Structure 1
Amino acid sequence: MTGTVADRLDVVRARLAAAGAEPGSIQVLAVTKGFGPDVVRAAGAHGLVDVGENYAQEMLAKVDALADLSPAPRWHAIGRLQRNKVRQIAPHVHLWQSVDRLPLGEEIARRAPGARVLVQVDATDEPGKGGCPLAELDRLVGSLIDLGLDVDGLMTVGPTDPEVDPRPAFDRVRAARDRLGLRTLSMGMSRDLEAAVACGTTMVRLGTALFGPRRVSPPGAK
């Protein structure tokens, strides 16, 4: 497993460089949804301590299984999150990446005052997709700041259809980030990281590019 992750990480770094990224300029978030704790250990062995989980119960199981790991993973909550799960994972989350509505922000502010968050933006207008509409973004960012949260940047998910060019959506989110004067831009996954780099991302969220096909199905409950 360790060698496999090392080889894939080399490929990822080569892809980032070929897309125009300066070495070390883009943070790689290891997305371990659907994988066991072993891949978190393998990622950490190669310096990938920032780990993204989509589901609260899966994060909690891995936190328990990896209590001995040093350095400890920095957990990122990257999936659509129900308010009633915030209390359970709040002690463990380093960065909340999918804050897309005020009630969720209120619960995070209650359970983790001053927490660092990214606002998830819906830039593709696909039915059933999470994210704050661009037209409502300024109001939400302002409200989250008023709650005392550290709004560090924006996050978005590219088009579901792999045939659709993600760059227009990524460009819209980049422009919004710049206009709001925020820092972090989390966009780009295994299949579209090159487009994200071209559009100015500062973080890519990678699962299969680092670990291969998922071996188990993630739980249905968040």
Structure 2
Amino acid sequence: MLTSEELATRIARVQQVITEAAERAGRDPRAVRIVAVTKGVERALVDLAYQLGLRIFGENRVQEAAQKFGETPLPEDAELHLIGHLQTNKARSAVRLFSMIHSVDRIPLVLELERRSERLNQRVPVLIQINVAREPQKHGCAPEEAPSLVQAILAAPQLELRGLMTIAPLTSHDEDIRQVFRMLRLLRDDLEQRFGIPLPELSMGMTNDFPIAVEEGATLVRIGRALFGERQDGDRLVR
């Protein structure tokens, strides 16, 4: 496990990169928040990250999050976000566990989240996941499907639409990555104008590409490896 000094150094380094990227784009660095991705990270290290000032944590799977946080939730001033694909049959658990769900990408999921949220009398902030690059191996709705999802969420009283999320292609071509993030921002702007609603959150950017995401308007950057290093996820190494 990382020492407190090692993790503090990693956090400071990520925060410095965010600051520099935001200043290049003429943005306030305080408008960008880190979602510390804790997939494969033991709870003790999560607690250490909290002690060092991080307040938003992201999990990819409902089951792992339940094992890690179900019996002992994070402190009240911390948030747990679901950033991975959500199966409809896990909606009940997701509503109980998470402060925000980044990966809403289909109308049946919207309806199930609304049903479960209503039963718990709980309002759930959500983001629509957009597959901007149209990669067949990735989840997310196509950009042209976003308006119908917005309508469905606006018709669900227990769900609070906060913005959009995307995952950029894994490529060394920065301009391809930038184009994906820029397209998400422009789609957000179009949806705000079309529906007359604020969509303040853009969840985009991970360890490999978060400086570009910040330059293009990200408000939430999902950082795992740059904070916690490579982690074991079952028999697979998380990079």
Greater Cα shift, 131-140 or 156-165: 156-165
Q: Does 1:193 align with 2:195?
A: no
Whichever residue aligns with residue 166 of structure 2, its letter is: T
SS at the partner of 2:149? helix
Residue from 140, 154, 158 that aligns with 2:164: 154
Q: How many residues align?
A: 218
Q: Which has the higher contact order (CA 8 A, sep 6+)?
A: 1
| Unaligned residue ranges in structure 1 (runs of 5+) | none
Whichever residue aligns with residue 79 of structure 1, its letter is: G
Following TM superposition, where does structure 1 have runs of at least 4 consecutive aligned residues deviating by more than 6 angstroms?
Answer: none
Distance 1:77 1:138 in 2: 22
Q: Is the 8 A contact 2:22 2:29 kept in 1?
A: no
SS at the partner of 1:159? coil
Distance 1:206 1:12 in 2: 9
Distance 1:193 1:59 in 2: 24
Identity level (%): 37
Query: For residues 78-134 of structure 1, what are the alpha-carbon distances to aligned partners after superposition, in whole Å with 9 as ceiling and x for unaligned?
Result: 101111111123212100100000111111111124311000000011112111100
Whichever residue aligns with residue 145 of structure 2, its letter is: E
Tell me the residue number matched to 2:105: 100
Q: Is the 8 A contact 1:120 1:155 kept in 2?
A: yes
Q: Is the 8 A contact 1:167 1:199 kept in 2?
A: yes
RMSD: 1.8
Q: Does 1:49 align with 2:55?
A: yes
Whichever residue aligns with residue 124 of structure 1, its letter is: A
Whichever residue aligns with residue 186 of structure 2, its letter is: A
SS at the partner of 1:14? helix
Tell me the residue number matched to 1:176: 187
TM-score (norm 2): 0.85
Q: Is the 8 A contact 1:154 1:184 kept in 2?
A: yes
SS at the partner of 2:231? coil
Q: As a proportion of its length, which structure holds more helix? A: 2
